[in-house]
Every structure is written in C-alpha cells, then in structure tokens.
Structure 1
Amino acid sequence: MTAPEIVSPAPRDVWQSIVDHDVAGTPVSQTPQWRDAVCGAWRGRDVSRLYRWDDGTSLVVPLVRGRLRPAAMAEQSSWPLGWGIGGALSYGELCEDKADVVVRDLMAQPVRSTYLRPDPRDDAVWRAVLPPAAVANPRMTQVLELSGGFGHVWKHRYTSARRNDVRRAERAGLDVEVDDTGRFLPLFERFYRQAVDRWARRDGVPLVRARWQARRRNPPRKFAAVVRHLGPACRLWVASLRGEPVAVTMMLHQGTHVTYWQSAMDKEIAARSCAVPYLVSLAIEQACAEGGAWFSFGDTHPGTSVTRFKTGFGPTEHHSAGYWIPGAGRSGRR
C-alpha cells in the first residue's frame, strides 16, 4: 500500500464532503462545526489531519491541541474528555492497514500523547492496530434505533416505567417550547449553576471548590460555543409548569442523527412532573417524524443513575473505549 498524502489542518471543504457522503450517518461530534465549537470553548488549535490514498480513500482525524504548552508536553485530542466521539471518519473503507498508517503517524507527532475516541462502530479496527503502550479509557455509548417510527419505539423499546413517566408529565400539564436560536441558553446555564451547588451539598464538597471544578469541566463558553457554531442544529427544549420553567434539554442534530447532549433543571419540580423524560420523549418523537434513524444518548458510565435513566428509552449499549496513544514528545500519558 502506498503512503498517503497528509494535510494538516484538514481542509474544511474535504471534511464536510466526507460528512455529506456518509451513508451510515455521521454524528454531530465528527463535523467541522463541532471542531469550531471545541476550538472556541477549549481555546485549542486545530491540528486535524487528512489522509488521502491513491485508491480514492480519504480519512479525516479531528484533532485539537492546547495553545499554552510546548508541543513536547502537550496532549492533542479527538476530542478532549467531555466532548464526545471524535476518532476518524472516512470516504472509502476503513481497514486495519489504513488505521495502522494513521496510528503510526500519530505516534510520530511531537506531542506527549494523542487521545483518540473512535466511533464505537470502528472500535475493533482501531484496537487491532494500537501499540501495547496505548492506555484505554473504557466508555459506553447508548444509541436508540428509530426504525419503525415513534409508535414502534414507544411500544417495543421504551420500558413500561418510562411510558408511565411520559403519561405522568402529560397529566401534570407541562408546557413545552423549542428554540434553535440560543434564546434559552441563559436559563440552561442558571439551572446548571444551581445543579453544581446541589451536587456540592450532596457530596459535602465546599461550594468554592465545586464551582471551580465545574468551570474547568464545563465553562460557560462551552455551551455558548456549541449554540453559536451549530446554529439551528442545536435545539433547546424547555418545559414549564404554570408559567415557570422547570427543565431544559439540549438536542444536537446532524443528518439522520439526533444527540441528547445536556439537561439542567429545577430538581424537585422537574422530578415530580417528570419533565426531563417528557422532553427527551418529545425529541425522540420529533426525530422520528423528521426521518431520523438514530437517537444517541452519548457516552456514559455503566451503573450510574444517569445511565439507568437513559436505559428506560430502550437504547442499545455499545461498549468501546477512548485511547491515549503515546507520541514522540515526552513519553507517557501523565
């Protein structure tokens, strides 16, 4: 196999063309728009790489690198933790031979390491070519198949408990609004800040420390960057009870994929009225009506309350991993 042409950063038009031609459907987190949001929020530099072979195969690896550290001490990521699936997307077959070329090229980069979070559908290909020194970060992705329409999903995939939650929300008389302009972002951020304080009290963590950790993990510019760069593809759903907002969810749209990305709420009222399961169910129903094929609940950790909540909608669990691959800079992940 001949060596590929490598271009970095990956040209936006080529990257977008691969997304547009992906018949299996590309999730929003593998698009150039998501790269823009990551760079804007994380204040990173685009170091994505395009590989082109003579047989017509083109492969893009989304990558960002922090600006503050020298390359030899830096980590480049596809994507940073908390930003979902990156990995690689290709026009043409992704085989082990081509994946091996990519891994060897990443290992030759003058960085400490590369964090690669592949699409779970491609996990076996990447695992087969990773070096022994690669460190795995086990992940689980929950994806709901929408074939058969909403009536089929409701009857055959939802658990009875989840259907009861939706009926309870309907009886509560919740009003729902959907916006794709970012108008509800301040409300989402207010609920999120309240949640951080609630988690701190629950876990006995000092408020100052909890808020600092939350700002590092999810700075306000993160949510704002996603809203700004995705535009109408980012929809915020708000549930209100007697005129007072009680919950907000953030849904991301890309082709036949919809991703449930974030939620924030008034915990007590939202729990009584089942506002969040109601909003998620309405988003699933809309995705079916719009011809969607997949509704993704994103990466999660088995056994948590969040995972159990998502399981109620009947998604399939895909167990895979992200991988720290050593580079040619200072060795080791830490």
Structure 2
Amino acid sequence: MNAPAAVPVDVSTSVPAEVWDLVYRLDSHALPTQSPRWARAITASGGYYDVSRLYAFADGRRAILPLFEGAGGPRKLRSRLSPPSAWGFGGLIASDPLGVAHLSAILDDVIDNTTFRVHVRPNPLEAGLWKAAAGGRWIAVPRLAHVLDLRPGFDKIWAGFRSSTRGQIRKAERAGLDVKSGCEPSLVEAFHGLLMRSVDRWARRQHEPLALARWRARGRDPIDKFNTIAKALGPACQFRVAYHNGEPAAAILVLQERNAHYTRGAMDERLAAPTSANYLLHRLAIEAACNAGCATYHMGETTAGGTLARFKEQFGAVATPYAEYAFERLPLYWLKDRARTTVKRMIGFRDA
C-alpha cells in the first residue's frame, strides 16, 4: 500500500549541499538565513553542530529543516535550534508549498527525535501554516516582524514612502555622505564599531547596566561572527556603511539572494541623526534588492507600536504577526521567562 502523500517516505539526517541549495532556490519565501551557506557560517562560528533534516514525501515534495545542536554539555541535555539565537530566521524551506498535513508530519518527527528541547523561529510569511500545524504540544511565543513587498518595483515603492521619509532621504543626499557597500573586512570593522556604540546607547535607554549590555553583545555578536558570515555568503552579504567626513555614521547589514533580509543596524547618533544617514541606507538597500529581483525586504522583529516599528512602516513595510515555537521535555521556557522578568524588574529595565 502506498504511503499517504503527506507522510514522509524518507527522512535523512544528512542533507547534501546541492539538494539543500536546489530546495532553497525553489522556495519563493526562502531567506538567506535558511540557505546552506548560512548553515556553514553557523557551524564555522563554533558552538553548534548541523543536525538539519531532509524530508521526502510521496507527492514529490521535499522539505528541509535547518537545525543546529549546541556543542556543549551532555548530548541528552542539548537544545536543537532553528536557528540558534541571534542568527536570524529558520524554519522549513520546501520545493513546493507545504500543506498543514506535511508540516504536522514533520513536527511529529522533530518531537520524536528530540531528547530535550527544540526551538524554531520560522519565516514570518509562513505564520498561518505554522499556527495551523503546531498543535497543543508546542509552546507558541507571539512575535512581530515587518516585511516590505518589492514586487511592485522601486518606482512604486518610492512613491509609497511617506513624504516625510522621502524628505529625510533627500536631506541625507545633500549631506555629502559617502556610502560604501560590500563584505570587505574594513566595512565589517566599521559596522561592528557602530554596533558596539549602539549597544551603549541602547543600554542607557533601557536602564541596563553598561557592563552587562557589553558582555551580552560580545557573546551574541562578536566581530568574528560577522567576518565568518561575510566569508560564507560572499556578495550575498552586504554591509552598507555611510561615512560623514570620513567617520562611520551609520551602517546596516542586508543579506540578499532571492529575498532580502535587513538583519542588523547601528549608528553613531551624533553623526547619523543630523544627516538622516539611516534613511539613505535603507533607500539604497531597497532599490538594490528591487534591481536584483528580490520579492521581499524583511526588516526583522519589532515591538508593536514602538519607535522602530514606526520607522519601518515609513518605508511601506507591513507589520506581520507570527510566532516562535518550542517543544520541551522540561518547562524551561517558563522558568527562563520568569527569571528574565525578575532580573529586568530588579535593574529597572525598560524595553526601548
């Protein structure tokens, strides 16, 4: 008797690079952080093993779940992550759109092969599918992302920018900014320097002890991480830095392949604010993504109603609710959330 179409007929724990790349290129929603090159960057950075899974279905569909296991501690206590924290979006990519039954079967397999904990941060554009398939065994953590549809083309997108945003861009163009783009070490260094300055600014605004903020940032985003990403992705990794009188004023990191993903931004406020450098950087990145044929420009996670959300919406990005999903043998998420809330209350932390 033939297997039902939505039941995997083959599950592989070793994903050939050429198969991964093919499935990645067939998935219209796929982000650079779901590519085999990104997986190589994660493992090359140290601390994680690639335990990704390839699913083949009777109806011809193939799906890949990028999945990474922490390298430290007893194996039975290691988490499996798609992707690890501060490594963008993970979740499934597929050669053809998946149905609820396909995803449900995959999630059942993930649970059956998880000894301790698994956490998935899927593409926000797949939110409806994940909500329908995850069921009651998965913890759903509500999130919000902003996504700009690039399919109308840059001329229409430019017209859709708020008039005040176009004004800020024109101001930046008059400010004499020198914008450089690429993945050269000098641009990585300039970007990372601005990122560390931004950490200090965010810490002051959030009432977080500066030493704690810097310690967290060094662990989450060391400069070696960005050099590794640049080496793994090559031209798909674009550090765009705006200089004012030779000094780095603002920088963004955009990953660009079939779709574009703005994944980090940083600035020196004393130089960026008067010159509106951030507006110009996004204008250039959006135009470049349109010219490259990208379908979407993902602008990352956002707090609803916050300053960052309003900034992204000025460019036409649409708030996109989604959820992260966790399956745990022990209630770790609840314990970590309680601990995090307690520490924030103790230090008077304020979400920016």
2:237 to 234, 237, 258: 234
Q: Deviations over 1:283-321 (max 9, x none)?
A: 112222333322111222212222221111001221111
Report the 3-state secondary structure (helix = DSSP H, G, I; strand = E; otherwise coil) of the residue aligned with 2:316. coil
Q: How far is 1:94 from its partner?
A: 0.6
| Structure with larger RCO (C-alpha < 8 A, sep 6+) | 1
Q: How far is 1:25 from its partner?
A: 4.4
1:290 to 269, 289, 292: 292
Normalised by the size of structure 2, how large is the TM-score? 0.87
| Aligned-pair Cα RMSD in Å | 1.9
Structure 1 distance, partners of 2:200, 2:29, is: 38
Matched, 1:66 2:70: yes
Structure 1 distance, partners of 2:80, 2:278, is: 35
Give the equivalent residue in structure 2 for 1:13: 18
Give the equivalent residue in structure 1 for 2:183: 180
Matched, 1:223 2:223: no
When residues 252 and 110 of structure 1 are mapped into structure 2, their CA distance, relative to the original with a 3 A threshold, is closer
Structure 2 distance, partners of 1:51, 1:34, is: 20
Q: How far is 1:223 from its partner?
A: 1.8
Give the equivalent residue in structure 2 for 1:312: 314
Matched, 1:83 2:87: yes
Tell me if the contact between 2:194 and 2:248 (Cα under 8 Å) persists in the aligned partners: no
Match of 1:12, as an amino acid? Answer: A
Match of 2:190, as an amino acid? Answer: L
Percent identity for Structure 1 against Structure 2: 34
Judge which range, 75-84 or 200-209, deviates more.
200-209
Unpaired runs of at least 5, structure 1: none
Q: How far is 1:215 from its partner?
A: 1.7
Structure 2 distance, partners of 1:184, 1:104, is: 43
Tell me if the contact between 2:194 and 2:267 (Cα under 8 Å) persists in the aligned partners: yes
Q: What pairs with 1:141-160 in structure 2 (closer than 5 Å)? A: 141-155=145-159, 157-160=160-163
Tell me if the contact between 1:182 and 1:236 (Cα under 8 Å) persists in the aligned partners: no
Report the 3-state secondary structure (helix = DSSP H, G, I; strand = E; otherwise coil) of the residue aligned with 1:184. helix
Tell me if the contact between 1:248 and 1:264 (Cα under 8 Å) persists in the aligned partners: yes
Q: Deviations over 1:201-229 (max 9, x none)?
A: 34443332221121223233322221121
When residues 250 and 66 of structure 1 are mapped into structure 2, their CA distance, relative to the original with a 3 A threshold, is same
Structure 1 distance, partners of 2:123, 2:207, is: 36
Q: How far is 1:250 from its partner?
A: 1.2
Unpaired runs of at least 5, structure 2: 334-352
When residues 132 and 28 of structure 1 are mapped into structure 2, their CA distance, relative to the original with a 3 A threshold, is same
Q: How far is 1:261 from its partner?
A: 1.5
Give the equivalent residue in structure 1 for 2:58: 54
